[in-house]
């Protein structure tokens, strides 16, 4: 059959498909549990959210066109991967007030496995010297609906591709376009994302991107560990500094736990590719991120092992920057600079390890990236990685 395509949304040509359901009827050589389906959720906070589910026969992933092509949830052989947010989403952006003076409205919609933060800014909200909000927490792209969504399946190659276009534009200000492609093969235990951020203005622009990737129970059990090829790691603030000796291991959920954040630089191979993994206490399950450090040089670990009711979760966050206020990061040059009409590409993938052998296999790869390099561990916030008000 070769490649077949289905356009789900295309505002330019006025296309919007209310429902789509592809199975082995349409894709003859697909695995038994293959599925591509699109629906619009109704009722409550999810009213009007488009949900696109892709099951490659092994891994199923829910994509949210209405929320900037975020990944809502995933499962492997039916086991749910991700976390359980106290926010019962997915939440339609109409119920998320990014412009709330606190700058924290973004939190009202936060329940995804992976949500992009950007594109003008991400990180902590920033205020001017009068206290007026300038940049809201984590930016706007995760609450912008896709202007184009399409699915492409190649029966011969056994490849599923989901394409989305999300615009973050404001007249007189930045005009940015995210073109995202998610690929996964039939039966593969991984998904691969290629994102291009285009500056569609005739003037230059600077851009930020952070892949806020989140995992909770049961993977994140007491004793779960991060395995990563570390060049340097530093605590975000004094509270995180207290836990620096255990920065890569997780304790049991604890009510009222105050989040600890660590900023890292990871080692990579000659092609700038790197890999890191979160594995459970017994090393029998893991999830690993693969990404390219040439455009995502920063890596942030967010430890939030509060009670399950409150959202026990860790965030693994490759980015152009650390999630500090936008101006500070800009001063440090931690932005992507785009000329008029220019673009920047980001490579990002998630793979799932389902056995102790697979976990060890990934550990081996990470160990090779580490090689003889001795990680630099800062026991206090690192100058240049932290704005003064945080490190003080």
Q: Which is nearer to a copy of itself, 65 or 318 (CB)?
A: 65
Least Å distance between CB 234 and a copy of itself? Answer: 23
Which residues on adjacent β-strands are paired with residue 134?
A: none
Task: Give the number of other CB atoms < 10 A from CB of residue 391.
Answer: 18
Shortest Cβ 158–a copy of itself spacing (Å): 29
Which of 272, 349, 386, 258 lies closest to 71, judged by CA? Answer: 349
| Residue 221: CB minimum distance to a copy of itself, A | 17
Closest CA to 315 of 104, 138, 171, 178: 138
Order of strands across the sheet that contains 175-185:
15-16, 3-10, 148-154, 159-169, 175-185, 190-199, 343-353, 286-292, 273-279, 225-227
Least distance between a copy of itself and beta carbon 42 (Å): 4
Q: Which two tokens stand for residue 325?
A: 């206020």
d(CA 278, CA 287): 5
| 3-class secondary structure, 388 | helix
Name the residue nearer to a copy of itself (CB basis): 73 or 293: 73
Q: What is the closest distance, in whole angstroms, from the C-beta atom of residue 171 to a copy of itself in the complex?
A: 4
Which residues of this protein are in contact with a copy of itself, per CB under 8 A?
9-12, 14-16, 18, 41-48, 85-88, 93-95, 97-102, 104-105, 107-108, 110, 128, 130-134, 144-148, 167, 169-173, 175, 200-203, 255-256, 259, 306-311, 340-341
CB nearer a copy of itself, residue 6 or residue 378? 6
Residue 362: enclosing H or E segment and its boundaries? helix 356-370
- In the complex, minimum distance from the CB of residue 189 to a copy of itself, in angstroms, rounded to a whole number: 27
Q: How far is the CB of 175 from a copy of itself (least distance, A)?
A: 4
Dihedral sign, CA of 199, 201, 203, 205?
negative
Quick one: 105 or 229, whose CB is closer to a copy of itself? Answer: 105
Q: Which is nearer to a copy of itself, 12 or 372 (CB)?
A: 12
Cβ-proximal residues to 307 (8 Å cutoff; 6+ apart), any chain: 253, 254, 255, 256, 257
Per DSSP, the three-state class of 55 is strand
- Alpha helix (H) residue ranges in 190-248: 238-241
**Judged by CB, which is closer to a copy of itself: 149, or 359?**
149
Please give the Cα distance from 229 to 13 (Å, whole number): 46
8 A C-beta contact, residue 263 and residue 236: yes
Closest CB to a copy of itself among 27 and 165?
Answer: 165
CA distance 212 to 202: 30
Closest separation in Å from C-beta 197 to a copy of itself: 15
Closer to a copy of itself by CB, 14 or 371: give it.
14
């Amino acid at each position: 059959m070769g490649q077949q395509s289905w356009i789900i949304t295309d505002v330019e040509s006025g296309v919007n498909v209310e429902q789509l359901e592809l199975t082995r009827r349409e894709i003859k050589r697909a695995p038994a549990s293959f599925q591509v389906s699109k629906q619009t959720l109704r009722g409550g906070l999810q009213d009007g959210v488009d949900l696109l589910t892709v099951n490659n026969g092994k891994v199923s992933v829910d994509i949210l066109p209405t929320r900037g092509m975020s990944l809502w949830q995933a499962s492997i052989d039916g086991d749910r991967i991700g976390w359980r947010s106290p926010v019962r989403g997915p939440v339609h952006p109409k119920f998320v007030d990014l412009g709330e003076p606190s700058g924290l409205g973004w939190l009202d919609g936060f329940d995804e496995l992976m949500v992009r933060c950007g594109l003008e800014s991400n990180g902590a909200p920033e205020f001017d010297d009068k206290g007026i909000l300038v940049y809201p927490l984590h930016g706007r792209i995760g609450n912008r609906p896709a202007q184009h969504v399409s699915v492409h399946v190649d029966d011969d190659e056994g490849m599923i591709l989901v394409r989305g276009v999300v615009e973050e534009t404001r007249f007189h200000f930045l005009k940015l376009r995210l073109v995202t492609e998610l690929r996964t093969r039939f039966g593969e235990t991984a998904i691969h994302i290629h994102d291009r951020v285009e500056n569609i203005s005739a003037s230059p622009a600077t851009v930020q991107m952070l892949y806020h990737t989140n995992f909770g129970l049961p993977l994140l059990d007491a004793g779960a560990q991060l395995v990563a090829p570390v060049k340097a790691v530093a605590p975000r603030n004094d509270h995180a500094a207290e836990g620096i000796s255990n920065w890569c291991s997780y304790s049991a959920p604890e009510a009222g736990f105050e989040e600890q954040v660590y900023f890292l630089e990871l080692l990579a191979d000659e092609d700038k590719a790197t890999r890191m993994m979160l594995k459970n206490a017994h090393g029998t399950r893991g999830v690993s991120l693969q990404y390219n450090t040439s455009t995502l040089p920063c890596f942030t670990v967010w430890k939030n092992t509060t009670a399950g009711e409150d959202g026990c979760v860790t965030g693994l966050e490759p980015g152009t920057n650390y999630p500090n206020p936008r101006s500070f990061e800009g001063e440090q040059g931690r932005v992507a600079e785009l000329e008029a009409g220019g673009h920047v590409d980001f490579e990002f993938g998630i793979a799932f390890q389902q056995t102790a052998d697979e976990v060890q296999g990934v550990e081996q790869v990470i160990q090779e990236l580490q090689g003889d390099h001795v990680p630099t561990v800062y026991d206090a916030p690192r100058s240049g990685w932290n704005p003064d008000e945080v490190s003080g």
